[in-house]
């Protein structure tokens, strides 16, 4: 009897967790990211602060969230819930306001499905530039960027996301307005 891929995926994750081989966040390959995130043409530094992981390596102490911390203490931090690690991306100026947007690829204890968040700085506060993007490891291995400017539509971006359809992981693209 063949086991459908989704059942195999679930069983593999349960087995992985039961063996105590839980995922640990890898050291951020770019501990500090540069960009003009809040002021046009002024370079700023941002990095991730990771949550504390319990001794069983199965949960976080004080909640599972990473924090984007900026070198300039006047810039508010960004708290990203549902992550124990992540990778930061300077996405360039996606919304034509002269400032770079920052992307965060979530990392979790196990599994390949991770959200990708995109933040923009507006009126002194951080907000999501688009809804979180569902990504799978396969998408990253295929070098498919989750978000780029849509050259055909001003004020829009092309989102490439991962979906599970017909027992397979597929990649889809759509154009959405960016904040």
CA 34/CA 44 separation, integer angstroms: 5
Looking at residue 101, its pLDDT comes to: 98
Looking at residue 4, its pLDDT comes to: 52
Q: 94, 79 in Cβ contact below 8 A?
A: no
In tens, the pLDDT along 10-67 reads: 444 444 444 344 444 444 444 699 999 999 989 999 999 999 999 999 999 999 999 9
* 178 or 8: which leads in pLDDT: 178
In tens, the pLDDT along 147-161 reads: 999 999 999 999 999
Q: 90, 105 in Cβ contact below 8 A?
A: no
CA 98/CA 73 separation, integer angstroms: 21
Each domain of the chain, given as residue ranges in start order, spans 25-177
What are the beta bridge partners of residue 9? none
Instruction: Look at domain 25-177 and name its CATH class.
Output: mainly beta
Looking at residue 11, its pLDDT comes to: 44
């Amino acid at each position: 009897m063949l086991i459908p891929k989704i059942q195999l995926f679930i069983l593999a994750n349960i087995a992985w967790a039961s063996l105590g081989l839980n995922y640990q966040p890898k050291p951020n390959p770019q501990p500090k990211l540069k960009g003009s995130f809040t002021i046009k043409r002024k370079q700023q530094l941002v990095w991730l602060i990771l949550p504390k992981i319990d001794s069983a390596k199965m949960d976080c102490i004080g909640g599972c969230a990473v924090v984007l911390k900026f070198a300039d203490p006047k810039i508010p931090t960004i708290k990203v819930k549902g992550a124990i690690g992540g990778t930061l991306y300077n996405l360039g100026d996606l919304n034509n306001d002269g400032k770079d947007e920052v992307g965060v690829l979530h990392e979790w204890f196990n599994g390949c499905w991770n959200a990708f968040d995109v933040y923009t700085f507006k009126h002194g506060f951080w907000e999501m530039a688009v809804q979180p993007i569902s990504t799978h490891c396969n998408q990253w291995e295929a070098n498919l960027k989750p978000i780029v400017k849509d050259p055909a539509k001003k004020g829009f971006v092309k989102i490439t996301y991962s979906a599970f359809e017909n027992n397979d992981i597929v990649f889809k693209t759509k154009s959405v307005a960016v904040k």
